[in-house]
Protein backbone atom coordinates (compact mmCIF):
# COMPACT_ATOMS: atom_id res chain seq x y z
CA UNK A 1 0.00 0.00 0.00
CA UNK A 2 1.07 3.58 -0.60
CA UNK A 3 0.62 6.79 1.38
CA UNK A 4 1.13 9.73 -0.97
CA UNK A 5 0.18 12.55 1.36
CA UNK A 6 2.74 13.13 4.10
CA UNK A 7 3.60 16.60 5.39
CA UNK A 8 6.70 17.75 7.29
CA UNK A 9 7.35 20.32 10.00
CA UNK A 10 8.60 22.74 7.31
CA UNK A 11 5.02 23.84 6.61
CA UNK A 12 4.67 25.14 10.18
CA UNK A 13 1.57 23.14 11.06
CA UNK A 14 2.93 19.58 11.18
CA UNK A 15 5.10 17.97 13.84
CA UNK A 16 7.90 15.41 14.05
CA UNK A 17 11.04 14.73 12.07
CA UNK A 18 10.79 13.49 8.50
CA UNK A 19 12.60 10.29 9.52
CA UNK A 20 9.86 9.61 12.08
CA UNK A 21 7.26 9.55 9.31
CA UNK A 22 9.40 7.08 7.38
CA UNK A 23 9.89 4.86 10.44
CA UNK A 24 6.16 4.83 11.10
CA UNK A 25 5.51 3.87 7.46
CA UNK A 26 8.00 0.99 7.70
CA UNK A 27 6.49 -0.30 10.93
CA UNK A 28 3.03 -0.11 9.31
CA UNK A 29 4.36 -2.23 6.43
CA UNK A 30 3.73 0.37 3.74
CA UNK A 31 5.59 -0.36 0.50
CA UNK A 32 5.81 3.20 -0.70
CA UNK A 33 5.30 6.70 0.66
CA UNK A 34 5.42 10.16 -0.82
CA UNK A 35 6.33 13.32 1.01
CA UNK A 36 3.83 15.89 -0.15
CA UNK A 37 4.48 19.06 1.77
CA UNK A 38 3.02 22.44 0.81
CA UNK A 39 4.84 24.21 -2.01
CA UNK A 40 5.76 27.75 -0.92
CA UNK A 41 2.77 29.99 -1.48
CA UNK A 42 3.15 32.74 -4.02
CA UNK A 43 4.69 35.80 -2.34
CA UNK A 44 6.21 33.73 0.46
CA UNK A 45 3.46 34.70 2.90
CA UNK A 46 2.83 30.98 3.49
CA UNK A 47 5.61 30.66 6.04
CA UNK A 48 4.48 33.68 8.07
CA UNK A 49 0.98 32.26 8.25
CA UNK A 50 2.22 28.70 8.97
CA UNK A 51 0.60 27.47 5.75
CA UNK A 52 3.62 26.35 3.74
CA UNK A 53 7.39 26.07 3.79
CA UNK A 54 9.36 29.20 2.96
CA UNK A 55 10.65 29.69 -0.55
CA UNK A 56 14.27 29.07 0.50
CA UNK A 57 13.37 25.86 2.36
CA UNK A 58 12.39 24.04 -0.82
CA UNK A 59 15.96 22.89 -1.70
CA UNK A 60 16.34 21.54 1.84
CA UNK A 61 13.03 19.65 1.55
CA UNK A 62 14.13 18.03 -1.70
CA UNK A 63 17.57 17.04 -0.39
CA UNK A 64 16.07 15.64 2.82
CA UNK A 65 13.82 13.33 0.79
CA UNK A 66 16.87 12.20 -1.23
CA UNK A 67 18.82 11.54 2.00
CA UNK A 68 15.96 9.52 3.50
CA UNK A 69 15.78 7.47 0.31
CA UNK A 70 19.39 6.43 0.90
CA UNK A 71 18.98 5.87 4.64
CA UNK A 72 15.85 3.70 4.34
CA UNK A 73 16.21 1.47 1.27
CA UNK A 74 13.58 -0.91 2.71
CA UNK A 75 10.80 1.45 1.59
CA UNK A 76 10.27 3.41 -1.62
CA UNK A 77 10.17 7.15 -0.90
CA UNK A 78 8.76 9.46 -3.52
CA UNK A 79 9.27 13.19 -3.89
CA UNK A 80 5.85 14.78 -4.09
CA UNK A 81 4.58 18.27 -3.44
CA UNK A 82 1.14 19.69 -2.64
CA UNK A 83 0.67 22.81 -4.73
CA UNK A 84 -2.19 25.20 -4.11
CA UNK A 85 -4.33 26.05 -7.07
CA UNK A 86 -5.60 29.61 -7.24
CA UNK A 87 -6.35 31.16 -10.62
CA UNK A 88 -3.63 33.63 -11.60
CA UNK A 89 -0.73 31.83 -9.89
CA UNK A 90 -0.21 29.23 -12.64
CA UNK A 91 3.01 30.67 -14.06
CA UNK A 92 4.53 31.07 -10.57
CA UNK A 93 3.70 27.43 -9.80
CA UNK A 94 4.86 26.20 -13.20
CA UNK A 95 8.24 27.91 -12.85
CA UNK A 96 8.80 26.57 -9.33
CA UNK A 97 7.86 23.02 -10.31
CA UNK A 98 10.42 22.89 -13.12
CA UNK A 99 13.27 23.33 -10.65
CA UNK A 100 13.12 19.83 -9.15
CA UNK A 101 12.43 16.30 -10.33
CA UNK A 102 9.22 15.65 -8.49
CA UNK A 103 7.71 12.18 -8.79
CA UNK A 104 4.26 13.72 -8.65
CA UNK A 105 2.56 17.04 -8.03
CA UNK A 106 -0.73 17.14 -6.16
CA UNK A 107 -2.93 20.10 -6.96
CA UNK A 108 -5.18 21.22 -4.13
CA UNK A 109 -7.96 23.76 -3.94
CA UNK A 110 -7.95 25.35 -0.47
CA UNK A 111 -9.17 28.81 -1.53
CA UNK A 112 -12.29 30.24 -3.10
CA UNK A 113 -11.15 33.72 -4.01
CA UNK A 114 -9.30 34.94 -0.92
CA UNK A 115 -11.27 32.70 1.41
CA UNK A 116 -9.46 29.68 2.86
CA UNK A 117 -12.73 27.78 3.19
CA UNK A 118 -11.21 24.78 5.03
CA UNK A 119 -9.22 26.83 7.54
CA UNK A 120 -10.69 26.62 11.08
CA UNK A 121 -9.88 30.32 11.56
CA UNK A 122 -12.10 31.21 8.59
CA UNK A 123 -14.94 28.85 9.36
CA UNK A 124 -17.28 31.69 10.39
CA UNK A 125 -17.33 32.89 6.80
CA UNK A 126 -19.54 29.87 5.98
CA UNK A 127 -22.41 31.57 7.88
CA UNK A 128 -22.59 34.37 5.33
CA UNK A 129 -22.27 32.15 2.25
CA UNK A 130 -24.78 30.27 0.18
CA UNK A 131 -23.61 26.65 0.48
CA UNK A 132 -24.80 25.62 -2.99
CA UNK A 133 -22.87 28.49 -4.60
CA UNK A 134 -19.77 27.55 -2.63
CA UNK A 135 -19.99 23.99 -3.95
CA UNK A 136 -20.46 25.27 -7.51
CA UNK A 137 -17.43 27.54 -7.25
CA UNK A 138 -15.40 24.76 -5.67
CA UNK A 139 -16.12 22.27 -8.48
CA UNK A 140 -15.38 24.94 -11.06
CA UNK A 141 -11.98 25.49 -9.42
CA UNK A 142 -11.31 21.74 -9.41
CA UNK A 143 -11.93 21.62 -13.16
CA UNK A 144 -9.72 24.66 -13.72
CA UNK A 145 -6.97 23.10 -11.64
CA UNK A 146 -6.98 19.92 -13.76
CA UNK A 147 -6.97 21.93 -16.98
CA UNK A 148 -3.74 23.73 -16.05
CA UNK A 149 -1.88 20.44 -16.70
CA UNK A 150 0.33 21.38 -13.76
CA UNK A 151 -0.85 18.48 -11.62
CA UNK A 152 -0.75 14.67 -11.67
CA UNK A 153 -3.16 14.19 -8.80
CA UNK A 154 -6.03 16.32 -7.54
CA UNK A 155 -6.07 16.23 -3.72
CA UNK A 156 -9.03 15.65 -1.38
CA UNK A 157 -11.59 16.45 -4.09
CA UNK A 158 -14.58 17.19 -1.86
CA UNK A 159 -12.70 19.10 0.86
CA UNK A 160 -15.49 21.67 0.78
CA UNK A 161 -17.51 19.35 3.08
CA UNK A 162 -14.89 19.51 5.86
CA UNK A 163 -17.04 21.31 8.45
CA UNK A 164 -20.17 19.38 7.50
CA UNK A 165 -21.74 22.02 5.22
CA UNK A 166 -23.83 20.12 2.68
CA UNK A 167 -25.46 21.40 -0.49
CA UNK A 168 -29.24 21.53 -0.62
CA UNK A 169 -29.54 21.39 -4.41
CA UNK A 170 -28.38 18.76 -6.89
CA UNK A 171 -24.64 18.56 -7.53
CA UNK A 172 -24.69 15.60 -9.90
CA UNK A 173 -24.13 17.63 -13.06
CA UNK A 174 -21.15 19.42 -11.53
CA UNK A 175 -19.75 16.10 -10.39
CA UNK A 176 -20.18 14.52 -13.80
CA UNK A 177 -18.58 17.50 -15.53
CA UNK A 178 -15.67 17.45 -13.10
CA UNK A 179 -15.06 13.72 -13.50
CA UNK A 180 -15.14 14.10 -17.31
CA UNK A 181 -12.58 16.91 -17.20
CA UNK A 182 -10.33 14.90 -14.87
CA UNK A 183 -10.45 11.97 -17.28
CA UNK A 184 -9.68 14.18 -20.30
CA UNK A 185 -6.79 15.81 -18.46
CA UNK A 186 -5.36 12.48 -17.31
CA UNK A 187 -5.20 13.35 -13.61
CA UNK A 188 -5.67 10.91 -10.75
CA UNK A 189 -7.61 11.72 -7.59
CA UNK A 190 -6.71 11.04 -4.00
CA UNK A 191 -8.63 9.01 -1.46
CA UNK A 192 -7.71 11.01 1.62
CA UNK A 193 -8.47 9.62 5.07
CA UNK A 194 -7.93 12.87 6.99
CA UNK A 195 -11.61 13.76 6.63
CA UNK A 196 -12.30 11.04 9.23
CA UNK A 197 -10.37 13.19 11.72
CA UNK A 198 -12.29 16.36 10.84
CA UNK A 199 -15.82 17.56 11.82
CA UNK A 200 -17.37 15.85 8.76
CA UNK A 201 -15.97 12.43 9.91
CA UNK A 202 -15.87 11.10 6.38
CA UNK A 203 -13.16 10.18 3.89
CA UNK A 204 -12.55 12.62 1.00
CA UNK A 205 -14.28 11.93 -1.34
CA UNK A 206 -17.53 10.27 -0.27
CA UNK A 207 -18.56 6.94 -1.79
CA UNK A 208 -21.23 8.66 -3.85
CA UNK A 209 -18.67 11.00 -5.41
CA UNK A 210 -16.06 8.29 -5.82
CA UNK A 211 -18.54 6.22 -7.82
CA UNK A 212 -18.83 9.07 -10.32
CA UNK A 213 -15.04 9.19 -10.73
CA UNK A 214 -15.04 5.41 -11.15
CA UNK A 215 -17.69 5.68 -13.86
CA UNK A 216 -15.32 7.92 -15.83
CA UNK A 217 -12.34 5.71 -15.03
CA UNK A 218 -10.36 8.34 -13.11
CA UNK A 219 -7.44 6.61 -11.32
CA UNK A 220 -6.87 6.80 -7.55
CA UNK A 221 -4.02 7.12 -5.09
CA UNK A 222 -4.20 6.87 -1.30
CA UNK A 223 -3.18 9.55 1.20
CA UNK A 224 -3.45 10.12 4.94
CA UNK A 225 -2.60 13.84 4.89
CA UNK A 226 -0.38 13.05 7.89
CA UNK A 227 0.68 16.09 9.89
CA UNK A 228 2.09 13.86 12.65
CA UNK A 229 3.96 10.57 12.25
CA UNK A 230 1.13 8.67 13.99
CA UNK A 231 -1.21 9.51 11.11
CA UNK A 232 0.84 7.77 8.41
CA UNK A 233 -1.35 5.11 6.78
CA UNK A 234 -4.17 5.84 9.20
CA UNK A 235 -7.56 4.29 8.36
CA UNK A 236 -6.32 2.80 5.10
CA UNK A 237 -8.45 -0.29 5.67
CA UNK A 238 -11.46 2.01 5.38
CA UNK A 239 -9.98 3.75 2.33
CA UNK A 240 -9.45 0.46 0.54
CA UNK A 241 -12.93 -0.82 1.28
CA UNK A 242 -14.34 2.50 0.05
CA UNK A 243 -12.36 2.14 -3.18
CA UNK A 244 -13.65 -1.41 -3.65
CA UNK A 245 -17.18 -0.38 -2.82
CA UNK A 246 -17.00 2.26 -5.56
CA UNK A 247 -15.81 -0.43 -8.00
CA UNK A 248 -12.07 0.22 -8.11
CA UNK A 249 -9.70 -2.72 -8.59
CA UNK A 250 -6.55 -0.71 -9.17
CA UNK A 251 -4.69 2.28 -7.84
CA UNK A 252 -1.76 4.14 -9.36
CA UNK A 253 1.75 5.17 -8.37
CA UNK A 254 4.04 7.82 -9.86
CA UNK A 255 7.70 8.00 -10.73
CA UNK A 256 9.19 11.03 -12.50
CA UNK A 257 5.61 12.10 -13.11
CA UNK A 258 4.74 8.89 -14.97
CA UNK A 259 1.69 6.97 -13.84
CA UNK A 260 1.83 3.21 -13.22
CA UNK A 261 -1.18 1.01 -12.48
CA UNK A 262 -1.20 -1.51 -9.66
CA UNK A 263 -3.86 -4.03 -8.64
CA UNK A 264 -5.42 -3.37 -5.26
CA UNK A 265 -4.97 -7.05 -4.42
CA UNK A 266 -1.22 -6.93 -5.02
CA UNK A 267 -0.81 -4.51 -2.24
CA UNK A 268 0.74 -6.53 0.53
CA UNK A 269 -0.45 -4.61 3.50
CA UNK A 270 -3.43 -2.56 4.37
CA UNK A 271 -2.98 -0.53 7.49
CA UNK A 272 -5.79 -0.80 9.95
CA UNK A 273 -7.40 1.89 12.04
CA UNK A 274 -5.46 2.84 15.13
Interface residues toward Zn ion, by CB under 5 A: 82, 108, 225
Tell me whether strands 76-84 and 220-223 are parallel, antiparallel or unpaired: unpaired
Tell me whether strands 153-154 and 104-108 are parallel, antiparallel or unpaired: parallel
CB atoms within 10 A of CB 196: 17
How far, in Å, are 3, 7, 116, 152, 213 from residue 121 at the CA level? Answer: 28, 20, 9, 29, 31
From the centroid of its chain, how far is CA 247? 21
Nearer to Zn ion, 6 or 246 (CB): 6
Sorted by sequence, the CB contacts under 8 Å of residue 223 that are 6+ apart come out as: 3, 4, 5, 6, 36, 106, 155, 156, 190, 191, 192, 193, 194
CA distance 74 to 182: 34
Amino acid sequence: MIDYHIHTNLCGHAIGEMADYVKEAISSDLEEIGFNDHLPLNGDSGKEQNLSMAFDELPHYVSEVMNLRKSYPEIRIKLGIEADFTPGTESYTRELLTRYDFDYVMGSVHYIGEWAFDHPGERKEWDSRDVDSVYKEYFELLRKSARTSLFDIIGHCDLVKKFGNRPVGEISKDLDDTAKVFKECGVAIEINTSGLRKPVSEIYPSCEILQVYRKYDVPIVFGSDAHTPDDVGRDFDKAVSLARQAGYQEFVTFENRNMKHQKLDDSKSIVSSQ
